[in-house]
Amino acid sequence: MQFIDPALDAYCEAHSGHEPWYLKELTAETHEKVQMPAMLSGHLQGRFLSLLSHLVRPRIAVEIGTYTGYSALCLAEGLAQGGNLHTIDIDPYLPEMVHRYIEKAGMLDRITMHHRPALEVIPELPTPFDLVFIDADKQNYPNYLRAVIERLSPGGLIIADNVLWSGKVLKPAPDQDDQTAALRTYAAMVQSDPRLEPVMVPLRDGILVARVK
């Protein structure tokens, strides 16, 4: 969902760097062949994720929720020399497409795909994590936070997508569905955790960025 005028959003994109050619192809193919293409991070959010990754220079990054791989490719742009991004998803149909675009981008040595539930994979990954991007099933956001918080390095980032949930987070509690309630719980957990310094950014559907002290 866009919370600003589409013309302003286009203006922001036009002044937010350039997408690599393979991301443009990935965007086109996602819209042509994949259900719910609005889940794609897209140009503006992708450049934001790339910027954050470049600032942190993670050696180990973790993405929970791959979809068609757009955000993984953006996050991998900022990895430290020899760094690796572990991207996790359970979708049975998209891994071939994701792998194809990782290969097009020349990032096979930087991105490792995992096709099991994230709460099973996370304990098996090398630590410490320097950056975590959460963008999967919303009901599990609080569980994902619990799973990664102790594995993050000081100065590391936890980034969560869709935290505004098309504005539904403002609904009264009796009117919230399970996803909305979980997103509100996640935001409250991050805000109240003394180990974290959070900023919620109203970019697209909302991104909550939290730095580990």
Question: What confidence score (pLDDT) does residue 38 get?
Answer: 84
Q: What is the spatial distance between Cα 169 and Cα 173, in angstroms, rounded to a whole number?
A: 9
Least confident of 108-112, 149-153, 168-172, 186-190: 168-172
Q: What is the spatial distance between Cα 207 and Cα 176, in angstroms, rounded to a whole number?
A: 20
pLDDT of 3 higher than 80: no
In this prediction, residue 140 has a pLDDT band, given cuts at 50, 70 and 90, of very high
pLDDT of 74 higher than 80: yes
Model pLDDT for residues 21-60, shown as the tens digit of each residue = 999 999 999 999 998 888 888 999 999 999 999 999 999 9
* Upper half-sphere CA count for residue 90 (Cβ side, 13 Å): 8
CATH classification number, 6-212, choose in 1.10.1240.10, 3.10.20.30, 3.40.50.150, 3.40.1390.30:
3.40.50.150
In this prediction, residue 1 has a pLDDT band, given cuts at 50, 70 and 90, of low
> CA 170 from chain center: how many Å?
22
3-state secondary structure of 112: strand
Question: What confidence score (pLDDT) does residue 188 get?
Answer: 98
The domain spans of the chain are 6-212
Question: What confidence score (pLDDT) does residue 89 get?
Answer: 97
Q: Which stretches does DSSP call E strand in 80-189?
A: 84-88, 111-114, 129-134, 152-161
Give pTM, 2 decimals: 0.95
For residue 167, give both structure tokens: 């504005």
In this prediction, residue 164 has a pLDDT band, given cuts at 50, 70 and 90, of very high
Evaluate the omega torsion of the peptide bond into residue 128 and state whether it is cis, within 30 degrees of 0. yes
Q: What is the spatial distance between Cα 118 and Cα 109, in angstroms, rounded to a whole number?
A: 21
